[in-house]
Structure 1
Amino acid sequence: MGTRTQGASRLWLALTCLTLSAVVNAQDVPAPASSVATVPAVIPMAKPHAAAPREPSAPDAWGGIRTGSEATLSDRVASYRIDAELDAGKHSVKGSEQLRWRNRSQQTVNRIYLHLYLNAFQNEGSTFFTERNVLTAHGHSRGNAAPKKGEWGWIDLASVQQGNAALKWSFVHPDDGPATDQTVAAIDLAEPVPAGGTLTLDVDFTSQLPRVIERTGWWGDFNLVAQWFPKIGVLELPGERGATQVQWNVHEFHFNSEFYADFGSYDVRLTVPSDYTVGAVGAQQDEPSVQNGKTTYHFVQNDVHDFAWVAAKGFRTLDGSWHGPGSPQVAVRVIYPPEYVASAQLVLKATLDSLSYFSDTLGPYPYRTVTAVVPPFNADEAGGMEYPTFFTAEGDKEIDKDTMDQWNIDFVTIHEFGHGYFYGLLASNEFEEPMLDEGMNEYWDERMLRDRNQRVLTPSTWLRRAGITPSMDVFTSERLDAGLSHPFDPLGQNSWDRYSSSSYGTVYSRTATAMHDLEERLGKDVMARAMREYYRRWHFRHPSVADLRATLIDVSGNARAVDEIFDQFVYGTARIDDRVASIDISRVLPEAGSWMKNGQRVELTDDDRYEQVAKADEAWKKTHPHAGKTEAGAFPIRSTVTVVREGAAVPQILRVTFAGGSHVDVHWDDDRRWARFVFTGDTAAVSAELDPDRNILLDENKLNDSRTVKTDASASRRWTADLAAALQALYACLVTL
């Protein structure tokens, strides 16, 4: 489908604000006249193209730093009590929800907004499908399934009550999406919520799960129930994530975006067929109750911002336990289909290891449960997704530990658990700042794998049979999929204003690569302290990219390094490509011309110079009969190395190696587009290399970082290794996007 230009979008937004509604395809539910109040000025919504702010949040944003001495772990703004029943045959859920929401602002609230995420899957007129058709035409992505008859999904509101008043709703389009999108509903309240007041809504709804397209849905007797209940948007205050006024941060469900919500409490009862295995966010309360072939489970979890669950027939469970300093005893459960028992063992171990690593490096894990779900074959798109205390992994029937099989399962498990910190506890806005979740999580996952000495292995057995068994450091692997040669979008861009799905995918790898390079400049220990401080300041709040930047500067004291990385890559689309252009070798011989010597002018011709050099060389050989070919002889040797910048300036080390094995390191730390470095001595330079320790992984072409005076076949061997690495990068890409 066609899309509006940005100019048309701004005009549409202006008209929307003037009319105070963007109601199209209205599906208003009639309400008694007494329930319809006159609507005063409506609090504005976040801008359609909002992205990472540049100004840090105010110190008291979201109530200030959580010290642990508060009555609750989080400031519980939005809490839900839900009763839901799964119709396994229809893959539908009938639910009743009581929402309690607190108005944190100093303004009266007359209208609230609900996310109805499942409506992204009801037809091709949604923002999700409209964007998918465009973005996937320019790159690869997950979520490409084509629903057939009976495989669409949606959420229908049956009623919304405020006390005794039945409320009406209409669909709005905060991001100027298609008129047919119904993923955001505006509800005008019968009674306004005063400053500091609390709203209670009773909502009846039915959710029809789609055949698994992306993140949620069913396949066979497997039901992953996510994005399934009406969920209130976030009311941001001035000084929070760049907001300059009270505003609703509520976006349509975009193809590449995920979520953003307030912390609260979830008290959920789930009724399913008794022969189904159930797992969910939070801890199960008491024993399930059984009646008429159905079982009701009761789950409660405080201080989280979402709730998802699984109900699957014939699945098994594998249990473990973990405890660490500052954390409660944690019950760990893996829910899996019987054919994936080998994967379940790996998922359990990787989850236990992740609990230790993230708790040790960032902060204690505060919850009492972790549940990991391994989806069945044909439901792969339900894998690799995160919710608080609950995530989905991936599985295989057989695991070859000598190839990528185990690495993939380990990585996906670590990555999805890691979201429990970056998406869950830090609760960044995945709509507007996906870098803070997907990117920073990817970076910390790779640090964990690096600390375990777990390298990326050969992706397939045929390469091993051919005698090619390369492995590489995990961060070297990341750079291969980071789009370094032509970055279309800044890392800090929102999730939907992207050139393509492939460009969005670089949020993972390019962020990890950028943070790796920043780590090399600040020091690994400094970066570790900075990230722990970032978690301390911002867990149970909602940080922005600017807040991350400020923390890194505060801890490291190196504003220059942090600012350069953020300006060039987070807020910009810089590329780096420094190269060694040439190595020129010459002897420092007497220079022809007219010279003053002892008060008299003496002329040296070319013939005179030739004769002088020949005599000096002959004399030197007589006094050095055993000299090697690499020695200078009677005259010093001048080596001139020229380096060129094709992109943004970055501090570099140039290592020049001389005949005999000695080397000199020179710092090139300025913004010159090219530079020449001259070395005079007894031996000639034989090679020059930028970034000899390979610390600058953002450099798009590492092959031109070095040059030798004589032909060196190692370059062709490096091409072979890179080809093999590119094949494994494809595998890694498929599991991270």
Structure 2
Amino acid sequence: MRISFKTLCKVLACLVACSAYSIDTNAQDYWQQELKYSIKVKLDDKKHTLDAYETIEYINNSPDELTYIYMHLWPNAYKDRSTALVKQKLENGEKNLYYASEERRGYIDGLDFKVDGEKVKWELDPEHIDICKLTLNKPLKSGGRIIISTPFHLKFPRGVYSRLGHIGESYQVTQWYPKPAVYDANGWHQMPYLDQGEFYSEYGTYDVFITLPQNYMVGATGDLIGGDQERNWLEMKVEETKEYLKNSEGLARNTTAVGINELTFPPSASDTKTLHYRQSNVHDFGWFADKRWHVLKGEVELPHSKRKVYTWVMFTDEEAHLWKDGIEYMNDAVYYYSLWNGDYPYQHATAVDGALSAGGGMEYPNVTVIGTSGNAFALETVIMHEVGHNWFYGILGSNERDHPWMDEGLNSFNENRYIETKYPDRKLIGAQSNFLSGKFLDLESFDHKDSYYLGYLLNARRRLDQPIEFKSAEYSYINYGTVVYGKTALVFDYLMAYLGNDVMDNAMHAYFDTWKFKHPQPEDLRKILEEETGKDLSWFFDNLINGVALIDYKIVKAKNTGSEYTVTVRNVANTNVPFSISGIVDGKSTNTTWYEGFDKKTEVTFAAGDYDALKIDWSKDIPEVNRRNNTYKTAGLFKKVEPLRLQLLTSLENPNKTQIFWTPVIGWNEYDHAMPGLAVYNSVMPARRLEYVFMPLYSTSTQTVLGSAKLGYNWFPKGAPFQNIRLTVGGSRYSNGNNALPALGEGIYGKNPIQANKLKTELGFTLRNKSARTKVVNKLLLTSYDVWFTNSDVGDVIPTKSGAVSVNYFPEGNYYVKRLAFVHTNGRTLNPYDFTVSVEQGQVQSAEPFVKAQVEANYQVSYRRGRGLDIRLFSGRFLYNDFPNVEPKFAFAMHGNRDYLYDHVFLGRSETSGMLGAQFVR
């Protein structure tokens, strides 16, 4: 292969850049494209459409010659059932867009692309109708520039599917115009529009001219150019809103109050206005329009430059009682994000109240749209989070589709820090704290950050979590929230605890200053953090960002030598990361000391003191999968056992207590009548390896103790073909039917019913899936059933026609069944199905054993949203049976109550008539 001198120089330059860690990130090998937009758009609020004309100056700063340009036509994501958006929503369990009528869908058309005034060939991507490719008439040389122009027509979808849309005459105008894909050192980044997975766009300047009826208010990216009349009108609205809130104080959601809950749309003005917005150093433009908004305005002084930034909120009557403090939320968000990362570079920040399907809020440069919140804290959290995206997405323009943690995760880290700073005593249950949810359920010790932690544990303990550094579209629906948002926030909070707040702030400021208005990659952030802290952060990036390593440190023992403590610590998970130990005195921490990580087991020294206990990670900074082994008491017999907590109903897992849950229960069947009892269990969220439930019941009919119990143990092997191995042992005892005594004569019954006893042992293997997004579950189940019957009448005297007779009859028919089953389930949103293949071998007392095989398949034909046709197929055969006539309970039948494995609850198991006799299982 012949390599040109030019190519060789490029390769050598890349090698030098990779090996020389000290090279400045602003070196000449970094480049990015530049765009200058001019868009003139007119809203038709009768037809719910836009008509627009767009010109884009495309400046090629790359070293390459471009022969084509990819363009995003994201409104086409709503056009039909073939789009990536529809497919992803189906994967996530949402059918609404798939079944949407034509009238409720949206699209973009009327395109006529020209380059420098000349028509060019363009074609839709063969797989994605929301991507097109412009083939240039002549190559665009490095350093060259072209003008791309096109008219376009947009039909709004209903605003219930994703980010673009309208609800009545409230408009969310986002991802709405033809937009070039990013071209960077890794090539083109054309991508279809998705819900789960955001964006990556080129920086540039926008001049957008919006024409719409005069009585619409607009919240938009950019500064309003000219527009004195509009600005004065908004200032008047501000005064009206202040008066409105003053007069409506305490009357939230009171329909008798003037204006409250007035959500109908006023008629549109017959005259129109044109608003001109301009913004530089942004990579998107969003705008929102509504005629019903109230308006508030404020300003905030930035912490470093002391420059003033205007803040606006625009909201309807629906939650006006919450939005009245919206300016405070905006100001605090702008201030704290500037304090910790770098000053906000734009002139204003705006939040608008709008119909939104894409969660609680969605961010765009300078402006964010907020959905229904429900309470003030939720509103503040969403406003703050979305305003924060001006830093992590807006100013620091990472590739959200490929590295979602760099915006959502870092933003959630700052979100948690904001809450801990402004509300240091904020609990997980927050303002909704009351007797039931707080003290009664023992939730008072959980703080806001625990919501991230518990979400992370949900899948981490089951080894179903995914790396933080992962493509957004490849996350499972759950992991997109618990990993991208929650786990990333946790690990960066951990890093800050280890480094110290000031060191972390300095590093994040350096990241901001170096990469603002650019496209940082994960390695760029790592380089900045390591340079600014002077530390090798391989433990952090390799284990916690790029991997799924679990953390679990345990104090084995602690010895007081007088001058210090010698603490033996085991690295249970064997992940080499830093950890801290604190001394605990009267429930407070002291002498917190950080140690570098190690493998397996080691001894560390800790400062002497009169401690009640020593504890790993007192401040809950380390996302360990098990915190129940972190405490070692300095006195007493049970140094590693936490205090016992008998908790009614349930709670969340509290590592500082040994929790046992209980609840009163009552059951009933025809033979035992009412059965009051107690359920005792340790089941909790998140799942534990060892789980148990005991449920003793007392029969008011037989005056005997009945009930059930189950003990389960879970293994979650790392890298094995099985995602989960579960061993379960359980048993039950209930009355089975009236005790007929044929040996004493026809129609003779004992005083008490026959009791059926079951012991079930099962070993289950859940196969690991290659994709976390699949709805397929494959299980292999090995199950053993032992069923036997007891007669409490033995020894009793039963009156018969011929006289009293002592009962010495023991019921017969005890049996065992062994089953091997393979269960395949595909829980896809459309046309879900499952099938089970099983083989059973069983024996009734001393009779010959039998062997039978069966296949069951279920398929649902989805033909309308929420409706389907269920089809069931069954086939079975005895492979071996030496009975002249097989025991009826084991025989195949079309229907009946032959639950011979006692897996189901029957109110009258032996009844053959009446309502109780009508119960059956398939």
Partner Cα separation in structure 2 for residue 293 and residue 389 of structure 1: 28
Partner Cα separation in structure 2 for residue 143 and residue 417 of structure 1: 29
Partner Cα separation in structure 1 for residue 502 and residue 430 of structure 2: 32
Structure 1 window deviating more from structure 2 (447-456 vs 320-329): it is: 320-329
Partner Cα separation in structure 2 for residue 464 and residue 445 of structure 1: 28
Partner Cα separation in structure 1 for residue 411 and residue 358 of structure 2: 20
Give runs of aligned pairs for residues 389-400 of structure 1, distance below 5 A: 389-396=366-373
Partner Cα separation in structure 2 for residue 203 and residue 678 of structure 1: 71
Q: Corresponding residue for 1:331?
A: 310
Task: From the superposition, tell whether residues 82 and 383 of structure 1 become closer, same or farther in structure 2 (CA, over 3 Å).
Answer: farther
Match of 2:122 among 162, 165, 169: 169
Match of 1:387 among 351, 357, 364: 364
Task: From the superposition, tell whether residues 146 and 447 of structure 1 become closer, same or farther in structure 2 (CA, over 3 Å).
Answer: farther
2:416 maps to 1:476: no
TM score, norm. by length of structure 1:
0.71
Q: Is the 2:428–2:446 contact (alpha carbons within 8 Å) kept by the matching residues of 1?
A: yes
2:333 maps to 1:354: yes
Partner secondary structure for residue 422 of structure 1:
coil
2:376 maps to 1:428: no
Match of 1:579 among 554, 567, 578: 554
Match of 2:502 among 525, 541, 545: 525
Q: Is the 2:651–2:684 contact (alpha carbons within 8 Å) kept by the matching residues of 1?
A: no
Partner Cα separation in structure 1 for residue 501 and residue 327 of structure 2: 29
Shift, 1:302, TM fit: 1.6
Shift, 1:673, TM fit: 2.5
Shift, 1:715, TM fit: 6.3
Match of 2:492 among 505, 515, 523: 515
Match of 1:232 among 173, 180, 186: 180
Shift, 1:335, TM fit: 1.4
Q: Corresponding residue for 1:703?
A: 628
Q: Is the 2:571–2:598 contact (alpha carbons within 8 Å) kept by the matching residues of 1?
A: no
- Residues 412-453 of structure 1 show CA distances to partners (whole Å, capped at 9, x for unaligned) of 111101100111111111111111100011111222222223
Q: Corresponding residue for 2:223?
A: 283
Partner Cα separation in structure 1 for residue 306 and residue 57 of structure 2: 29
Task: From the superposition, tell whether residues 54 and 465 of structure 1 become closer, same or farther in structure 2 (CA, over 3 Å).
Answer: farther
2:531 maps to 1:550: no
Partner Cα separation in structure 2 for residue 62 and residue 87 of structure 1: 48
Q: Is the 1:470–1:724 contact (alpha carbons within 8 Å) kept by the matching residues of 2?
A: no
Shift, 1:722, TM fit: 4.6
- Residues 593-636 of structure 1 show CA distances to partners (whole Å, capped at 9, x for unaligned) of xxxxxxxxxxxxxxxxxxxxxxxxxxxxxxxxxxxxxxx9xxxx
Match of 1:131 among 72, 88, 92: 88
Q: Is the 1:55–1:546 contact (alpha carbons within 8 Å) kept by the matching residues of 2?
A: no
Amino acid at match of 2:378: N
Task: From the superposition, tell whether residues 54 and 88 of structure 1 become closer, same or farther in structure 2 (CA, over 3 Å).
Answer: farther
Amino acid at match of 1:202: S
Q: Corresponding residue for 1:42?
A: none
Partner Cα separation in structure 2 for residue 388 and residue 648 of structure 1: 40
Shift, 1:392, TM fit: 1.4
Q: Is the 1:529–1:555 contact (alpha carbons within 8 Å) kept by the matching residues of 2?
A: yes
2:187 maps to 1:251: no
Amino acid at match of 1:302: S
Q: Is the 2:392–2:411 contact (alpha carbons within 8 Å) kept by the matching residues of 1?
A: yes
Match of 2:598 among 657, 671, 674: 671
Partner secondary structure for residue 472 of structure 2:
coil
Amino acid at match of 2:393: Y
Structure 1 window deviating more from structure 2 (283-292 vs 518-527): it is: 283-292
Partner Cα separation in structure 1 for residue 216 and residue 469 of structure 2: 42
2:255 maps to 1:307: no
Amino acid at match of 1:187: L
Q: Corresponding residue for 1:538?
A: 515
Match of 2:167 among 201, 219, 223: 219
User: Which structure shows the bigger proportion of residues in helix conformation?
Assistant: 1
- Residues 28-70 of structure 1 show CA distances to partners (whole Å, capped at 9, x for unaligned) of xxxxxxxxxxxxxxxxxxxxxxxxx9998974559699xxxxx
Partner Cα separation in structure 2 for residue 453 and residue 217 of structure 1: 35
Task: From the superposition, tell whether residues 304 and 55 of structure 1 become closer, same or farther in structure 2 (CA, over 3 Å).
Answer: farther
Task: From the superposition, tell whether residues 185 and 373 of structure 1 become closer, same or farther in structure 2 (CA, over 3 Å).
Answer: same
Shift, 1:217, TM fit: 1.2
2:378 maps to 1:408: yes
Task: From the superposition, tell whether residues 150 and 656 of structure 1 become closer, same or farther in structure 2 (CA, over 3 Å).
Answer: same
Q: Is the 2:653–2:685 contact (alpha carbons within 8 Å) kept by the matching residues of 1?
A: no
Partner secondary structure for residue 473 of structure 2:
coil
Q: Corresponding residue for 2:44?
A: 87
Amino acid at match of 1:330: V
Amino acid at match of 1:338: D
Structure 1 window deviating more from structure 2 (276-285 vs 532-541): it is: 276-285
Partner secondary structure for residue 43 of structure 2:
strand
Task: From the superposition, tell whether residues 666 and 530 of structure 1 become closer, same or farther in structure 2 (CA, over 3 Å).
Answer: closer
Partner secondary structure for residue 380 of structure 2:
helix
Shift, 1:675, TM fit: 4.9
Q: Corresponding residue for 2:831?
A: none
Match of 1:155 among 85, 97, 108: 108
Q: Is the 1:284–1:300 contact (alpha carbons within 8 Å) kept by the matching residues of 2?
A: yes
Partner Cα separation in structure 1 for residue 179 and residue 349 of structure 2: 23
Partner Cα separation in structure 1 for residue 553 and residue 501 of structure 2: 24
Partner Cα separation in structure 1 for residue 449 and residue 512 of structure 2: 22
Partner Cα separation in structure 1 for residue 684 and residue 290 of structure 2: 35
Partner secondary structure for residue 409 of structure 2:
helix
Amino acid at match of 1:79: K
Q: Corresponding residue for 2:577?
A: 650
Partner secondary structure for residue 132 of structure 1:
helix
Q: Is the 2:200–2:401 contact (alpha carbons within 8 Å) kept by the matching residues of 1?
A: yes
Unaligned segments of structure 1, at least 5 residues:
1-52, 66-73, 174-178, 238-242, 398-404, 589-631, 633-637, 730-737
* Percent of aligned pairs with the same amino acid: 25
- Residues 322-356 of structure 1 show CA distances to partners (whole Å, capped at 9, x for unaligned) of 33353654222211112322222232211111222
Shift, 1:229, TM fit: 0.1
2:370 maps to 1:370: no
Partner Cα separation in structure 1 for residue 411 and residue 379 of structure 2: 16
Partner Cα separation in structure 1 for residue 297 and residue 311 of structure 2: 6
Q: Corresponding residue for 2:414?
A: 444
Partner Cα separation in structure 2 for residue 131 and residue 416 of structure 1: 23
Task: From the superposition, tell whether residues 423 and 714 of structure 1 become closer, same or farther in structure 2 (CA, over 3 Å).
Answer: farther
Q: Is the 1:62–1:541 contact (alpha carbons within 8 Å) kept by the matching residues of 2?
A: no
Partner secondary structure for residue 386 of structure 1:
strand
Partner Cα separation in structure 2 for residue 382 and residue 88 of structure 1: 25
Give runs of aligned pairs for residues 43-82 of structure 1, distance below 5 A: 59=24, 77-82=34-39
Q: Corresponding residue for 1:263?
A: 203
Partner secondary structure for residue 338 of structure 2:
helix
Give runs of aligned pairs for residues 495-644 of structure 1, distance below 5 A: 495-503=472-480, 505-559=482-536, 562-580=537-555, 643-644=570-571
Shift, 1:687, TM fit: 5.3
Partner secondary structure for residue 407 of structure 2:
helix
Q: Is the 1:328–1:367 contact (alpha carbons within 8 Å) kept by the matching residues of 2?
A: no
Partner Cα separation in structure 1 for residue 467 and residue 285 of structure 2: 31
Amino acid at match of 2:617: D
TM score, norm. by length of structure 2:
0.58
Q: Is the 2:33–2:184 contact (alpha carbons within 8 Å) kept by the matching residues of 1?
A: no
User: Which structure shows the bigger proportion of residues in strand conformation?
Assistant: 2
Residues matched between the structures, number: 586
Partner Cα separation in structure 2 for residue 720 and residue 689 of structure 1: 23
Shift, 1:359, TM fit: 2.2
Unaligned segments of structure 2, at least 5 residues:
1-17, 231-267, 657-682, 687-922
Shift, 1:473, TM fit: 4.0
Partner Cα separation in structure 2 for residue 532 and residue 167 of structure 1: 44
Partner Cα separation in structure 2 for residue 214 and residue 447 of structure 1: 29
Q: Is the 1:584–1:639 contact (alpha carbons within 8 Å) kept by the matching residues of 2?
A: yes
Shift, 1:386, TM fit: 0.6
